[in-house]
Structure 1
Amino acid sequence: MRRESPDLGRGGSTAVTAILIDEHKLWVANVGDSRAVISKSRQAIQMSIDHEPNTERGSIEKRGGFVSNLPGDIARVKGQLVVSRAFGDKNLKLHLRSDPDIQNADIDLDTKFLILASDGLWKVMSNQEAVDMVKKTKEPQRAAQQLAKEALNRDCKDDISCIVVRFKG
């Protein structure tokens, strides 16, 4: 993509995706701080890893970058990016990874739903709070809208994308 469109901007993105195989095996892959959470026996279980600069400092430094931790701020790659893995971010590409972490889980009768959301939701709401909100609403699209609305009510200043998937059973 960079080769075909060298005039692309400096922006980047994170991603989380999931696939359900034979209705029983869930696979989740993520890059960055978008997150997947399932509800199993009414408990929130995080199915992805938030890629934070401090946890991958060695990899960033090995690629010639650095992680800054200014007082009152969060760790940033080269003083700019708050994630250690991302797509794009042309000016930081040499220092970042874009390979996903992959997790899997067995889906059984106790697993009720999956939440896939960007960091805007997770900055203002815990995994369990999100699960508790969703379990009150049967319709997945409505549940996702309610999560996004609640994030806005909590003064989220970041992007908010959210999908809720209910499992059969």
Structure 2
Amino acid sequence: MSRCEEEIIEAVKDGYLSTDVEFLKEDSNCGTCSVTTLIHNGNLVVSNAGDCRAVLSRGGVAEALTDDHRPSRKDERDRIENQGGYMDCCNRVWRIQGSLAVSRVFGDRHLKQCVVAEPETTLLRITPECEFLILASDGLWDKVSIQEAIDVVRPSIIGVDKSESISACKKLVDLSVMKGSINDISVMVILFAHFLP
């Protein structure tokens, strides 16, 4: 983190691409999305590949720090088509070659010609109004809006012991299930109080 922003972004990219290489060595045709964060000296580095999201609570207002990688995004669609891939719309969901609904993942060997693992990375300074960060898979975000997630978590953790973040995660998972999510639901809440400079 003592390096310049461009070097940090490049290091994260190298980490994602190395992970993809290792993932592809496994005897599997599956794939997975990822969202990661690094906190160092009051700085926040958030990266994603796929449709896992990072959402910041800034004074109780939700702020998405990541953008889902879906074939419906013009930049992603252009990249896929330029690499010889195509998309189909199945039940109002754009899919790469009629299969995958995300355009960046680790693995998915059979679609590697047009599906990449290169992340998008956001860097920002943690300020006093930055309260917490929610990292979660699409099983949550398919059913729960980013502001709704902040509104559920915030009363559980602001001004209380940090161990309550586990309870807040459970509340989000339960809410998503109650709303009908049948996808995987992974949730992590990171409190910023201990990371302020």
Partner of 1:142: 167
3-state SS of paired residue (1:69): strand
1:115 pairs with 134, 143, 150, which one?
134
Tell me the residue number matched to 1:64. Answer: 84
1:124 aligns with 2:143: yes
The alignment's TM-score, normalised by the length of structure 1, stands at: 0.93
Structure 1 residues 10-29: aligned runs within 5 Å: 10-22=29-41, 24-29=42-47
Cα RMSD of the aligned pairs, angstroms, is 1.3
| Structure 1 residue 108: Cα displacement | 1.2
SS of aligned partner of 1:95:
coil
Offset of residue 2 of structure 1: 5.9
Alpha carbons of structure 1 residues 111 and 79: separation in structure 2 relative to 1, 3 Å: same
Question: Unaligned 5+ residue runs, structure 1?
Answer: none
Count of residue pairs the alignment pairs up: 165
In structure 2, do the counterparts of structure 1 residues 122 and 3 end up closer, same or farther at CA, with 3 Å as the change threshold?
A: closer
TM-score norm. by structure 2 comes to 0.80
The list of structure 1 runs, each at least 4 consecutive aligned residues, that deviate by more than 3 angstroms after superposition, is 2-5
Cα distance in structure 2, aligned partners of 1:159 and 1:62: 31
- Are 1:156 and 2:174 an aligned pair? no
Distance across 2 between alignment mates of 1:46 and 1:105? 13
How far 1:95 moved relative to its partner?
Answer: 1.1
- Which runs of 5 or more residues in structure 2 are unaligned? 1-21, 158-163
Within 2, Cα distance between the matches of 1:94 and 1:148?
Answer: 34
Equivalent residue number for residue 6 of structure 2: none
Percent identity of equivalent pairs: 36
Identify, as 1 or 2, the structure richer in helix. 2
- Confirm or deny: 8 A CA contact 1:47 1:104 kept in the other structure: no
Distance change >3 Å, CA 145–CA 2, structure 1 → 2: closer
- CA drift at 1:49: 1.2
**Aligned partners of 1:10, 1:157: CA distance in 2, in Å?**
22
Q: Corresponding residue for 1:40? A: 58
Structure 1, residues 125-157: CA drift from partner, whole Å, max 9, x if none? Answer: 000000000001121111111111111111101
